[in-house]
Chain A
Amino acid sequence: MPVERTERVTSGQGAVHNRLSVLRAERDWSRQRLADALGLHHQTVGYLERGDYNPSLELALRIAGLFALPVEAIFSLRPFKPLSEEVYGRTAQEERQQ
């Protein structure tokens, strides 16, 4: 049963962080297009991106399948690091220092 929250949860137990907005932006997709691909209402995509709604396991797996990524690359119980930091292993501060 998905957990419904009325406020954005940014930390603490129960928060599920995701990279949906980044993945969508990379593909230049609108929320409607992503919603159509997943059989959702476009508002639901907004709730998912903001972390206001945690998807069911089935939906999370469908999202992972759509982006051809493992679930843990899209959803995490801990906040994601910026992609540049993960890819190059450098923090934003280190970037500025160079």
Chain B
Amino acid sequence: MTASQSVDQPGASWKRMETRAWRRRLIVAMYAGYAALLAEVLVHEHVGRPWPAGLRIPADLLFGLTVLVITFSWAWVLSAAVRYGFGPARRRDMSVARMRELKAQGYSAKEVRARMVSPPDERQQAVRHRAQAIAFPISAVIVIGGATYAVLAIEVLPGLWLPHTQAEIWAILTALILMYTTLPPAILAWTEPDVAADH
């Protein structure tokens, strides 16, 4: 292997996933999946409970598919968040080939693991701060807007809709969890340009 050939470069499939077009598709899939899940829950609660016999299997299949889409895209966005230092863990992006090479060079497993884990560098920290700066006012508007609506619905306009059923309350909680865990990394993944090829 020459010096210009790096074993740390991600493979073709990973590079495809690192493109901005792919990242944006996943983010759209995640939020659209949540919207679909919310719609299914509300329809089930207010219109179709219990589902008519002919709709039960398609509805369950749709529900399962939506959950799968959300789970996959959510996990991907969270893993991207970890790599950019949003969470307590630090990025781990060393390839198996690179780990083997280090072991062959005499590094112990502990030393290889130490090299695998490194804090985000200064550019990654800068883009993380930028994403958090964009996400903060968005989440503040959503939370303050929601709280204001709740106060209005309770105190001023009692006819307004409020979550009552267990499914509706869980849907609101899930939306809050989704928003707080994914908004900054989703902004980051949406705006970061494609990875340039090494040359």
**Complex interface: stretch among A12-20, A35-43, A74-82:** A35-43
User: How many chain A residues have a CB neighbour from B under 8 Å?
Assistant: 26
Inter-chain contacts of A52 with B (CB < 8 A): 193
List residues 80-101 of chain B with CB under 8 A from any CB of chain A: 91, 93
Q: Is the CB of B121 within 8 A of A39?
A: yes
Q: Is the CB of B130 within 8 A of A4?
A: yes
User: How many chain B residues have a CB neighbour from A under 8 Å?
Assistant: 24
Inter-chain contacts of B123 with A (CB < 8 A): 2, 4, 40-41, 44, 47-48, 53
**B122 at interface, CB cutoff 8 A:** yes
Inter-chain contacts of B4 with A (CB < 8 A): 28-30
Query: Can you report 30 residue pairs joining A to B where beta carbons are below 8 Å apart?
Result: A2-B123, A4-B126, A4-B127, A6-B191, A6-B193, A27-B3, A28-B2, A29-B4, A30-B3, A30-B5, A31-B6, A32-B7, A32-B8, A33-B3, A33-B6, A40-B121, A40-B123, A41-B91, A41-B93, A41-B120, A41-B121, A41-B123, A42-B8, A43-B196, A46-B195, A48-B123, A50-B196, A52-B193, A53-B123, A53-B126
Q: How far is the CB of A53 from chain B (nearest CB, A)?
A: 5
- In the bound assembly, the distance between CA atoms of A61 and B198 in angstroms comes to 23
**A56 at interface, CB cutoff 8 A:** yes
Residues of B participating in the A interface, judged by any CB pair closer than 8 Å: 2-9, 91, 93, 118, 120-124, 126-127, 130, 191, 193, 195-196, 198
Q: Is the CB of A30 within 8 A of B6?
A: yes
Q: Which one of B9, B121, B122, B130 contacts A32 once the chains associate, using CB atoms below 8 Å?
A: B9
Residues of A participating in the B interface, judged by any CB pair closer than 8 Å: 1-2, 4, 6, 27-33, 39-44, 46-48, 50, 52-53, 55-56, 59
Inter-chain contacts of A4 with B (CB < 8 A): 123, 126-127, 130
Inter-chain contacts of A40 with B (CB < 8 A): 121-123
Inter-chain contacts of A50 with B (CB < 8 A): 196
- In the bound assembly, the distance between CA atoms of A32 and B6 in angstroms comes to 6
Q: Is the CB of B121 within 8 A of A44?
A: yes
Inter-chain contacts of A47 with B (CB < 8 A): 123
Inter-chain contacts of B191 with A (CB < 8 A): 6
Inter-chain contacts of A31 with B (CB < 8 A): 6, 198
Inter-chain contacts of A28 with B (CB < 8 A): 2-4
Q: How far is the CB of B150 from chain A (nearest CB, A)?
A: 37
Inter-chain contacts of A46 with B (CB < 8 A): 195-196, 198
